[in-house]
Amino acid sequence: MSILVLADLHEGQLAGATAHVVAAAQAIGGDIDVLVAGEGVQAAAEAAAKLDGVSKVRVADNAVYAHQLAEPMGALLVELADGYTHVLASASTTGKNVLPRLAALKDVSQLSDVIAVDSADTFKRPIYAGNAIATVKSDDALKVITVRSTGFDAVGTSGSATIETVDVVVDNSQSSFVKEELAQSDRPELGGAKVVISGGRGMGNGENFKLLDGIADKLGAAIGASRAAVDAGFVPNDMQVGQTGKIVAPDLYIAVGISGAIQHLAGMKDSKVIVAINKDDEAPIFQVADYGLVGDLFEILPELESKL
C-alpha cells in the first residue's frame, strides 16, 4: 500500500493535525508520503519531514497554491494521486474543502471524519453528530479519506524523510483570495490544546469571558465556547466547540456555565477528563463530567484562578 497525506497548514506553518493524520496512515500500513502545497512552505516541508513514519515529503511551492484554494489544490491532487492506494487529509476546513474534489474527479467515494482504522479498506466514522458510529468498507481502487485528528495520537518528530520538489503547476482563473481574518491569540490552537476551558450562556456576556483568561494562562489552555454563547453574540464562531464547531479531545476539558446540549457534547465528550462548573445541579453536563462543581461561576472562577 502507498499512502499520500495532504499536510494541513496554519498561516504557512505545518498544523498539528498532520501528525495525527500520519498516525492514521500508519494504522493503515504501507509507504507514507506527505504533500505540502502552498506558497513559501519550505519550513512546513521540513517540519513534515521530521514526522515519524514518513518516507518522502513532496513539496508544491507555487503562488497558485497560496491559501490552499480548493480548485488548484484539487487539480494538483488529481495529478499526483496515481500510484497511491489511499489519499488522506485532516478533517479540517481545508481537508473538507479539497478532498471531495479529488474523490469526484477520480470517480470514487470519500469517507469523511474517520476515527478508527479496522483494516486497509474498513474504517469507523461517526454519523448523526456522533450519536452513532458506522463501520464502512470501501471497494474503490483509491480510498479518499478525511481523518478526525482526535481519533489518532500524533506521531513523534524524530523522522528524517527525503524532501522532493513537485513541479506540477495548474491554472486557476476561477477563484481568488480576497482576505482572511484570523483570530490572533497567543494561546494554543483549540483543536490541538491539551487543556480547553469553555464558557456557555451562563457566562452572561462577552465581557465575562475575560474571567476564563487567567485560568487559561495558568493552565496553558485554549478557550472555547458553546454554540449558545456564540449565538448570543458573546464570542466569535471560531471559538465554538460542538457538532457545528470544533471537535476537541484534550486531556482536560473545563465546561463553565454550559448546560450540556447534545450538540455541545458531540464536540467534547472524548476528552480524557471533563470538569463541569454550573449553578444548576440538574444540568445534563454533569452526566458526562468526571468532576462536577455546583455553584456560582462568578465566585468559583476567581477562586480557581487564585488557587491554581
Partner 1 sequence: MKVLVAVKRVIDYNVKIRVKADHSDVDLTNVKMAMNPFCEIAVEEAVRLKEKGVATEVVAVTVGPKAAQEQLRTALALGADRAIHIETDERAESLAVAKLLAKVVEEEQPGLVVLGKQAIDTDNNQTGQMLAALTGLPQGTFASEVAVDGDKVNVTREIDGGLQTIALTLPAIVTTDLRLNEPRYAKLPDIMKAKKKPLDVKTPADYGIEVASKVSLLKVESPAERKGGVKVASVDELIDKLKNEAKVL
Among 174, 186, 207, 282, binds partner 1 (CB under 8 A): 174
Burial class (CB in 10 A: 0-12, 13-18, 19+), 104: middle
Among 97, 159, 168, 187, binds partner 1 (CB under 8 A): 97
Name the one residue in this structure whose C-alpha cell is 514518513. 54
Report 27-86 residues binding partner 1 (CB under 8 A): 67, 69-71, 74
* Segment holding 163, helix H or strand E: strand 162-165
Identity of the residue, 94 or 161, whose beta carbon is nearer to partner 1 in the bound complex: 94
Closest separation in Å from C-beta 92 to partner 1: 5
Residue 214 lies near partner 1 (rule: CB under 8 A): no
Closest separation in Å from C-beta 159 to partner 1: 25
Residue 105 lies near partner 1 (rule: CB under 8 A): yes
Residue 1 lies near partner 1 (rule: CB under 8 A): no
Identity of the residue, 164 or 290, whose beta carbon is nearer to partner 1 in the bound complex: 290
For residue 246, the cross-strand partners are 241
CA dist 256 → 44, 171, 197, 215, 286 (Å): 36, 48, 7, 12, 11
Among 34, 37, 51, 130, binds partner 1 (CB under 8 A): 130
Q: Could you tell me which of 75, 60, 63, 54 has the C-alpha nearest to residue 3? A: 54
CA dist 245 → 89, 91, 113, 221, 248 (Å): 18, 12, 14, 18, 10
Cβ–Cβ under 8 Å, residues 201 and 259: yes
Residue 187 lies near partner 1 (rule: CB under 8 A): no
Report 136-165 residues binding partner 1 (CB under 8 A): 136-140
Residue 279 lies near partner 1 (rule: CB under 8 A): no
Among 30, 31, 56, 104, binds partner 1 (CB under 8 A): 104
